[in-house]
Amino acid sequence: MGRWCQLTLAFLVCASGLAAQARSSTLRILQVTPAEIAPGTQVTLKISGEDFAPSAYVSFSIPGLRVLSTRRLSATELEATVRAGALAKPGQTQLFVSNPDGASAAKAFTILSSASVPAATVPATSVPPPSTRGPLAGEVRSPSAGAPTISKVRPAQVAPGQQLKIKVSGKNFAKGARIAFSNPSILVNATQFVKPSELSASLQVAPNASTGPGSLFVINPDGTEAEVPFTVSAGSSASTHGAPSVVSERFKVLNLGDAVSFLQTGGKTTGVLIVSGNKLEYDEGAKKVFAVNSNQIQEIAPNQFFGLNTGTFHIILTSGKTYNFIAASLIPSDTQAMVNALQKALRLRSP
């Protein structure tokens, strides 16, 4: 009993410290310069803030603003090159900065009306010459013979924390076409052109992604685009229009091992829990720590101390092995969401 109290108390102290650390390292956008763009122009934005991680990226809530590149100068400064379609609708929108772990922050951004922009304020170098500049995203709104169309997306929805590949069917997809989403928590790792009627894309959905309806866009290199509904659902697996699906999800975690020794050494190992169908595996880099079927799992549950959730969780295998984890974001709510998703995906009962 004394050992259990020592262990669970250590978990409480650990979770409290990690939660405080997470709160003190919140991603924030402090300033965007300039905070506006005129339709048909290209600008380089300076974005200052806090806790910009390596591989942080910039996105917008509308496809009419295209981010050509994002460059991280430091943990407090990003540089992004952005182009606005000539027919981009004037008004307020949102600029997002997202870290690879799923954390994101938003800042208001304005698309100016052409009439409100003095000619002198638009650098001549910001707009490519007409002979070399093709239409931008958002310029073509009415269907044309060469515009892409989307007939089917498989799956047509995803869940927070998923990493998966989707297939988009349609016609008039050009080489170099890309897939984009209105939800900034969906990161497209790569778009592959299969044939003019098919694209595929590898996606990573942030564990704390906002759920609800949104849009998927296919954008050809000439700027023509197509849009269909796409949902981030609260469930753990994506729908495939009634077809059987294999759940493929990845959860980035910290392996706490023995909580007491973790507190003493301050060490922690980053790994990935992978669910595929009814199988669960845990990898640390190239090392596979375990790979089991759901019937080899005795329990996945939060670690609690006298009814208080410590913000960590354990996986107990039928072999007797026990592993203790916390979400890599160090946010207790992410850990609980991870436990819920693992239990549901592997069809395990809550203890």
Where helices occur in the chain by DSSP H, the ranges are 2-24, 259-265, 332-345
More confident residue, 214 or 44: 44
In sequence order, the 6+-apart residues with CB closer than 8 A to the CB of 264 are: none
User: Burial of 193 by CB count in 10 Å (0-12 exposed, 13-18 middle, 19+ buried)?
Assistant: middle
Q: What are the φ/ψ torsions at residue 8 (nearest 5 degrees)?
A: -70, -35
Is 189's pLDDT higher than 90?
Answer: no
Cβ atoms 138, 88 nearer than 8 A: yes
Is 11's pLDDT higher than 70?
Answer: no
Q: Which of 49-63, 71-85, 98-112 reaches the highest mean pLDDT?
A: 71-85
Is 209's pLDDT higher than 60?
Answer: yes
Q: How do strand 42-50 and strand 149-154 relate by DSSP bridges?
A: unpaired
The model's pLDDT over 130-185, given as tens digits with 9 standing for 90+, comes to: 333 333 333 333 344 578 999 999 998 898 888 889 999 999 999 888 888 878 77
In sequence order, the 6+-apart residues with CB closer than 8 A to the CB of 61 are: 93, 94, 96, 182, 184
In sequence order, the 6+-apart residues with CB closer than 8 A to the CB of 268 are: 254, 255, 256, 262
pTM above 0.75, yes or no: no
Cβ atoms 59, 47 nearer than 8 A: no
Cβ atoms 218, 63 nearer than 8 A: no
Average pLDDT over residues 214-221: 83
Q: How do strand 308-317 and strand 297-305 relate by DSSP bridges?
A: antiparallel
The model's pLDDT over 299-309, given as tens digits with 9 standing for 90+, comes to: 999 988 777 87
- pLDDT for residue 120: 39
Average pLDDT over residues 176-203: 86
Banded pLDDT at 33 (limits 50, 70, 90): very high
Is 14's pLDDT higher than 80?
Answer: no
Domains of the chain as residue ranges with CATH: 2-23+247-345 (2.30.29.30), 34-128 (2.60.40.10), 146-245 (2.60.40.10)
- pLDDT for residue 204: 84
Q: What are the φ/ψ torsions at residue 20 (nearest 5 degrees)?
A: -65, -40
> What percentage of residues in the chain have a pLDDT greater than 70?
75
